Structure 1
Amino acid sequence: MHVSSTLRQLWRTARKTPVTVALALISTLMVTLCDIVIPLITATAIDSATAADGGHSAGGVSITTVVVLLVVAALVRYLFQFGRRYTAGRLSNTVQHRLRVEILRSLQRLDGPGQDRLRTGQVVSRSISDLNLTQAMVAMMPLIVGHVLKIVITLGVMLWISPLLTLIAVVLLPLLAWLTMMSRPTLFAATWAAQQAVADLSTHVEETVSGIRVVKAFVQESREVATLRNAARVVYAQMMRAARLTARYRPLVQQIPNISLVLSIGVGGFLVLHGDMSIGVFVATSVYMVSLTAVVSMVAGMLVQLQLGMSSAARVFDLINIQPDTTTPPNPAPIPDGPLGIEVSGVDFTTNDQRVLSQCTMTVSPGETLVIVGPAAAGKTMLVQLLCCFYQPDSGSISLVDAAGRRTDYHSLDLADLRQAVACVFDEPFLYSATIRDNIDMGRGLTDDDIWAAARHAAINRTIADLPDGLDTTVGEGGLTLSGGQRQRIALARALAGNPRILILDDATSAIDASTERTIFRNLTCHFADTTVIAIAHRHSTLDIADRVGLMEDGALTATGDLATMRQNHRFSHLMDLNFPSATPTGDPIPFDDGPTEPGVDKLWPTVATTDARLTMSRTAMRTAAAMAGANP
């Protein structure tokens, strides 16, 4: 991002608090004026003290008045200095807060492709370290404005009282400006690379911590430490590069003003010795030069620091400015009332140059339950992603269908309204490191009765009741303190608590035992009869709830029908390992096989009468046989 666009965007964020900005600028202006006035009053005091009348007055101004003015100026400067620091801190923290909120809002606005391009470590780094550097830069802004204003006013006053010394003061300013401009591109690039390396390091740490069980299971601790060490070395190298460039420019730009200071003091002292300048004017000019030198040095150092802040701000705004591929239309259509179904018509979807869905078509009537099965990489999960509107199809359409058969295309709907009507539960549920109540409620303000009802429907109520704190039990990060089945049931309860009109289950019961799964599906049938259910499944037990079963192959539904009909489909039966009626063989029979029909169980295992004396044995005979076999009964 260009520096000018970064500054414009930063200003648009800052001016959302106009009162704070105005107070910061006013305080800065008043502090600057006090800094300018105090040397003039000091010069008057010196001229008054060295006046021919004994020092009681100078130009009609008494020393008492001068002292009072100095005290008043000092007090005023203190008050506005406090105001400047307070308002600068308030402004910088407000901007930081707004940017942090904008980052989260931007991330939540992203659709599937945008989320796929993100790296967690990069997001964390830009949300913390880059944002902190941006906050520090904003806090410096009122001070930089005050210093620049002070330089301009000081040069104006010096030009009024001594043009010669003013010329000496400004003669090296072009060189200072040139060095500052020369340092900007290299420092900006070096700082950007250093922050990027920190973000890569954060990504590795986040992945290692999240997958710590995998690391330990495969005894890869040493490997991960070595990877971290290499990433840390890159960070160290980039940081040292930035420090080296800073050390090259910063001392030079801070020392150049001292050359002007030495020259002006030497020339001023020469003029005072020859009577061409009063002592008061010389002292005032010297004070201005010392102040000017300090201010210019600080500004030069701040400009170097500003480059660090600008690169961080650019990284922050790069994250904020990411736009999703899918947006809500300007005038969205309302969600139809009553039960809803879904119609998918000729949908194609390609990702990474690989065709995932190809002319996928299906219709699910309102209140119907469709179970979709298919081999791996058939496109089932991507179909779920499209139905939840995380991605958009390359071609074709997806529509909601009401009970009267009226269709409403996804493109015409508000995404928030759509996701309130369509709930999805994934096979790998995500739980916050919060209470079970918070994970089910999700900020919707549900009552305890609503939460317990959803828990009963998801067959998790007894498990929650057995916990010491019940609904107030805190689960670990990602719900790792719970079993996989418990996490899936809590996620299902979260979806059911919103009374969705369409429920999509992406293998959402894969970690749940068959008995509990039957209870859940029985609850869905009884309490959510009008809810349309689309379930991705790999288990036989899930097929029992289906009104229809769909077979998905190579990105399309190749067959649909009730379970009895689908059992006659060879590919479906082979996939689900069902008993498929074998055809009569046409070739030679297998050796020792009389035909396609095996003998029945009654022939293979004939029933033997228990009273047959030939099969009975006395206890003594059993002991004798055991002893001969080497046993010790």
Structure 2
Amino acid sequence: MTTPAAPARPLTGLLRHLGGERRAIVATIVLVVVSQVCLGAISVLLAAAVGHAVVLRDAPPGWFWALLAGLVILRALLTWGEMDASHALAFRVLARLRMALFDRYAVALPTRRRENVGRAASTAMADTERLEFFYAHTVAQLVAAAVNALLGLGLLTVVQPTLALVTLTALALVLATVPLGRRRLETLGHEVVEATGALSDRVVDVLGGLREVLGYGIHEPVRRQIRETGAEAARAAGRLETTHRVLAGAREAAVALAGVGVLVSVVGRDVAAEHVAALVVLALATVAPMADAAATCARLPALRAAAARVGTELARPSVLTLDTPQAPLPEGPLGLRMSDVDFGYDDRRVLDGFDLTIAPGEHVGLRGPSGAGKSTVVALASRLWDPDAGAVDLTDSAGDHVPISAVDDTALRAALSTVEQDGALFSGTVREAIAGPSTTDAEIEALLARLGLADAVTAESHIGEGGLRLSGGQRARLRLARAVLQRPRILVLDEPTADLDEASARQVTDLLGTLPATMLVVSHRPQTLAGVDRVVEMSSREASEGTPNPRRARNHAEHAARER
């Protein structure tokens, strides 16, 4: 599987994932533009008042002060509104991007290739946080600076054309600093994002495997790796910051030259003395926001790199395809049928022409040596993946069938539950970890008693992160309880008793025997499979290198003969 490509323009490419927030972005831009214009007007009016008072030794008229007071009040209201709107927008943008990532991961993970989930976590957390400020604040700042510059140049052109030409030159000088070091900024911005992402990846991996780190005494090598990764991230950030400081010095020099040019163009010209201060401030108020915008542009490469990472994750190909048109889920008991199924990981074939039929309400066991493909059958039956070839269908009591790929995923998940051997439990109480929308505490307590957990936990017991406070066997039984409480019509279990002692395993098998759901049970333990209707044996075989297997017909016969 190749890595999906990010959009050519990553920052604008993400706008389609922001949905209705685009209107809020436009509204925030309008607020910031009007606020910036008000600030410029206040600065010019104050300079005019000072010039009037110093040169004419007279205070401006009352209407002038009323106008200035109105602008100050308006600026205060706009600033408050801008801060409120932009901060609210930032949180909504963050939520939109993270939900878009979650929705993509829901159909694109797990992939067939072993991946570092730390990258997905760091993209969803760190990279999206970088981008929320861009869409909520930076875009508005850039637009406001551009509008302010155009208005200032227009006003100067009417009042003092020579000064307008000098101001235009100053703006050009400031903007000329934007492409300076652009290639280096792009390179360093990418390095910083990748280095900090690698650090996040490493930390997520370590936290996820903290028990193993401590249990095997490998904390020193892990600390060294994190320290080295962090040092590389710090060096990359230092190089980027040094470049920003050099470019900031160039911008400050450009602004200083612009100020000198403005003063020179005003002094000695046919300009009333009381207007000099206002004109100088107007020119500088036109240039200064653009200098800030140029500084912001220097920060865009790192944001583009973060947006590219998010775009790459959002462009992940789906591991599942939904047939069109969709088919409704059959009523009543459901069966499962896998016909002539092929499946492989990269160039390693695992299933080759595999057949399995489970009638509605039937309990079927599946066993075989490691590597035979039992867990792959579980994943295909649970529709975590689609087969490379062949069909996986749901059947009803009349023998009619519906492709599992044609059923809406929400409806499918309500009808089919899977219990994986290494499945996760989320932090919180037992109720929060296993209860369905309509589950009562009485149902929870009764099921805990049947599974031999009543003396260990209650519905209110906190299980810790990932069930850390529980034993392996207790976690396994809670995962089963979670599936049972969903009242599924099909239940797929992968080694449900592997972590249990004989007594606990017996409680689990006794419970499974009473469930009306159609059931596929993968297990090595004869005791677990003793209560099923029949057992299917899977034989191990060498994986092909992506070429047709000549033993396919024989495999078909083996599977059919071994069902009993």
Return the TM-score normalized by structure 1. Answer: 0.80
Pairing 1:202-351 to 2, within 5 Å after superposition: 202-271=200-269, 276-351=270-345
Cα pair 1:366 1:402 within 8 Å, conserved: yes
Structure-2 separation of matches of 1:50 and 1:462: 87
In structure 1, how many angstroms separate the alpha carbons of the residues matched to 2:194 and 2:358? 48
Within 2, Cα distance between the matches of 1:8 and 1:268?
Answer: 46
Report the counterpart of residue 14 of structure 2 in structure 1: 9
Any gaps of 5 or more consecutive residues in structure 2? 1-5, 542-554
Give 1:131's aligned residue.
Answer: 128
- In the alignment, the residues of structure 2 paired with residue 262 and residue 337 of structure 1 have an alpha-carbon distance, to the nearest angstrom, of 82
Q: How does 1:72-83 map to 2 (within 5 A)?
A: 72-83=70-81
Is 1:535 matched with 2:527? no
Partner of 2:355: 361
Tell me the SS of whatever aligns to 2:94. Answer: helix
State whether structure 2 residue 391 is matched by structure 1 residue 386. Answer: no
Structure 2 match to 1:570: none
TM-superposed deviation, 1:359: 0.8
Is residue 33 of structure 1 aligned with residue 37 of structure 2?
yes
> Where does residue 549 of structure 2 map in the other structure?
none
Task: Quote the offset at 1:144 in angstroms.
Answer: 2.6
- By how many angstroms is 1:396 displaced? 0.9
Residues 96-107 of structure 1: pairs in structure 2 closer than 5 A: 96-107=94-105
Write the deviation string for residues 488-521 of structure 1: whole angstroms up to 9, x where unpaired: 1111111111121221111111111222222322
Q: Deviations over 1:255-303 (max 9, x none)?
A: 31220211220231222xxxx1111332121111332342222111122
Answer with 490-499 or 230-239: which moved more. Answer: 230-239
Superposed, 1:608-627 pairs within 5 Å as none
Q: Secondary structure at the match of 1:337?
A: coil
Residue matched to 1:497: 485
Counterpart CA distance in 2 for 1:235 and 1:50 is 55
Q: Could you tell me which amino acid in structure 2 is paired with residue 542 of structure 1?
A: T
Root-mean-square deviation (Å): 2.6
1:141 aligns to what? 139
Aligned AA for 2:429? T
Whether the 8 Å contact between 2:44 and 2:279 is mirrored in structure 1 is no
Runs of 4+ in 1 over 6 A off after TM superposition: 560-563
Q: Which has the higher contact order (CA 8 A, sep 6+)?
A: 2
Aligned counterpart, 1:512: 500
SS in 2 for 1:300: helix
- Taking the aligned partners of 2:396 and 2:309, their CA distance within structure 1 comes to 46
8 Å Cα contact 2:341-2:351 kept in structure 1: yes
Shift of 1:111: 4.3
Q: Distance in 2 between matches of 1:40 and 1:205?
A: 52
Please tell me whether the aligned partners of residues 11 and 304 of structure 2 are also in contact (alpha carbons under 8 angstroms).
yes
1:47, 1:279 within 8 Å by CA — same for their partners in 2?
Answer: yes
Pair 127,341 (structure 1): closer, same or farther in 2 beyond 3 Å: same
**2:493 and 2:522 in contact (8 A); partners too:** yes
The within-5 A match list for 1:315-464 is: 315-442=309-436, 444-457=437-450, 459-464=451-456
Q: Retained in 1: the 8 A contact 2:141–2:293?
A: no
Q: Percent identity, aligned pairs only?
A: 24
Question: Is 239-248 or 2-11 further displaced after alignment?
Answer: 2-11
Q: Letter of the aligned partner of 1:35 in structure 2?
A: L
Relative distance call for 1:144 and 1:540 in structure 2 (3 A) is same
Contact 2:166 2:265 (C-alpha < 8 Å) held by counterparts: no
- Structure 1 unmatched ranges of 5 or more: 57-61, 566-633
The one of 537, 540, 543 aligned to 1:554 = 540
Q: CA 1:229–1:35 in 2, change beyond 3 Å: closer, same or farther?
A: closer
Q: Which of the residues 156, 166, 169 maps onto 1:168?
A: 166
> What letter corresponds to residue 80 of structure 1 in structure 2?
L
Distance 1:248 1:546 in 2: 74
Equivalent position amino acid for 1:451 in 2 = I
- Structure 1 residue 120 corresponds to structure 2 residue 117: yes
Structure 2 CA distance for aligned equivalents of residues 309 and 482 of structure 1: 42
Deviations 1:516-535 (A, max 9, x none): 22232222223x2x322211
Change (3 A) 1:328 1:154: same
Q: CA deviation at 1:185?
A: 4.1
1:374 to partner: Cα distance: 0.7
CA spacing shift, 1:441–1:11, aligned 2, 3 Å: same
CA distance in 2, matches of 1:111, 1:221: 29
Contact kept in structure 2, 1:427 and 1:488, CA below 8 Å: yes
1:36, CA displacement in angstroms?
4.2
Shift of 1:122: 1.5
User: How high is the TM-score relative to the length of structure 2?
Assistant: 0.89
CA distance in structure 1 between the partners assigned to 2:228 and 2:329 by the alignment: 53
Letter in 1 for 2:466: G
Q: 1:482 to 1:9 in 2, by over 3 A?
A: same
Secondary structure of residue in 1 paired with 2:454: helix
**Any idea what the Cα deviations from partners look like across 1:303-339, whole Å, max 9, x if unmatched?**
2233333332332333234341313334321111122
Match 2:28 to one of 12, 20, 24: 24
Give the Cα–Cα distance (whole angstroms) in 2 for the partners of residues 542 and 82 of structure 1: 66
Shift in Å, 1:472: 0.7
The more displaced of 211-220 and 486-495 is 211-220
Comparing 208-217 with 34-43, greater Cα deviation is found at 34-43
Q: Is the 8 A contact 1:549 1:561 kept in 2?
A: no
1:109 counterpart letter in structure 2: V
CA distance in 2, matches of 1:144, 1:13: 19
Deviations 1:573-619 (A, max 9, x none): xxxxxxxxxxxxxxxxxxxxxxxxxxxxxxxxxxxxxxxxxxxxxxx
Distance apart, 1:357 and its partner CA:
0.3
Which residue number in structure 2 is paired with residue 589 of structure 1? none
Secondary structure of 1:355's counterpart equals: strand
Deviation at residue 349 of structure 1 after TM alignment: 0.7
Within a 5 Å distance, the mapping from 1:40-79 to structure 2 comes to 41-42=45-46, 45=49, 55=58, 63-79=61-77
| CA pair 123-517 structure 1, distance change in 2 beyond 3 A | same
Q: Distance in 2 between matches of 1:68 and 1:559?
A: 92
Cα distance change, pair 550–117 in 1 and its aligned pair in 2 (3 A) = closer
For 1:86-105, list aligned pairs within 5 A: 86-105=84-103
Cα distance, 1:154 vs structure 2:
0.8
Seen in structure 2, the aligned counterparts of structure 1 residues 499 and 46 have a Cα distance that, compared at 3 Å, is closer
Q: Letter of the aligned partner of 1:228 in structure 2?
A: I
Distance 1:22 1:167 in 2: 31
1:15-36: per-residue Cα shift (whole Å, max 9, x none)?
Answer: 4363x44543343233233234
**Residue 234 (structure 1) shift:** 1.8
State the AA in 2 paired with 1:121. G
Equivalent residue in structure 1 for 2:196, among 191, 195, 198? 198
